[in-house]
Amino acid sequence: MAVKALTAILLFLACLSLNEAVFPNRNKFIEENPLKLQSTIDPAYLASKPRLPHNLNVFQYDIKIQPYFPNPTTTHDSSLDFTFDGTTTIYFQMLETTTSVQFDAYNLDIYAIALTSSNGIRQQLASANLDNSTNRITVAPVMFLQANQNYTVSFGYTGKINPYNYGGLFYSTYNYANGTKGNIYATFFELGDGAKSVYPCVDDPHFKAVFNLTVVAPKNMVTIANTMEDTITDIGCLLK
């Protein structure tokens, strides 16, 4: 399923949820499962953490997520359960000339980075370093990033599907009227590990952008977002 969001604040990205059936009783579920977030990031540290420099303007994210979890209709290596594959492309304009650009990323295993200028030329990177003490990745090309120029940076990565009370991309269960359990996989970005545990980003409410979200999900599950669907594509292997 592809979802196109017209506008969004980064910390309140379109809430994605995957249900085995249409959610039977949402209010009852919330009452019985109050969200008591247990972030793995120290709140005192978050309060004192310097904000990213406002030397760029982010205007679009293209995000693709394929989560892995136990499901009777799909087959994959069970070691992948409660993880996900992700690709994110960030479109931005530099507001000043600089040697590097920073993005937030938490608990993501980033295995590929590509920086491209607006003319389609891929920029050679001098370095790309993830600082685990700040949960930020610094991308430094050989050539300076030029003011008033547009760029894209693309990341390939894997991440974790968290327990319910950690936020980010999380999993939980609910009960049907007949007593059987259903599974739900959803996002919660307002608190906890947040958006940066699902995709590299500029995790700051100052920045607003358009989000194009693609989710690869089993056909037997309902996929819900708080914006209109663009397209649904059958990609085989009982996935959509």
- Asked whether residue 84 is assigned to any structural domain, the reply reads yes
Whether pLDDT at 39 is above 60? no
pLDDT tens per residue, range 145-190: 999 999 999 999 999 998 878 888 988 888 888 888 878 888 888 7
Which residue has tokens 């507001």?
95
- Asked whether residue 14 is assigned to any structural domain, the reply reads yes
pLDDT the model gives residue 198: 95
- Asked whether residue 240 is assigned to any structural domain, the reply reads no
- Asked whether residue 238 is assigned to any structural domain, the reply reads no
pLDDT tens per residue, range 44-74: 555 556 778 889 999 999 999 999 888 777 7
The count of structural domains within the chain is 1
- Asked whether residue 131 is assigned to any structural domain, the reply reads yes
Q: Which of 63, 111, 112 is nearest to 86 (CA)?
A: 63
Residue 180 belongs to what domain range?
2-231
Whole-angstrom Cα distance, residue 63 to residue 189?
A: 15
pTM of the model: 0.80
- Asked whether residue 236 is assigned to any structural domain, the reply reads no
pLDDT the model gives residue 8: 31
pLDDT the model gives residue 22: 40
pLDDT the model gives residue 124: 93
- Asked whether residue 85 is assigned to any structural domain, the reply reads yes
- Asked whether residue 206 is assigned to any structural domain, the reply reads yes
From 64-73, 80-89, 113-122, the region with the lowest mean pLDDT: 64-73
CATH of the domain at 80: 2.60.40.1730
Model confidence band, residue 138 (pLDDT cutoffs 50, 70, 90) = very high
For range 74-101, the mean pLDDT: 91
pLDDT tens per residue, range 201-213: 998 888 889 999 9
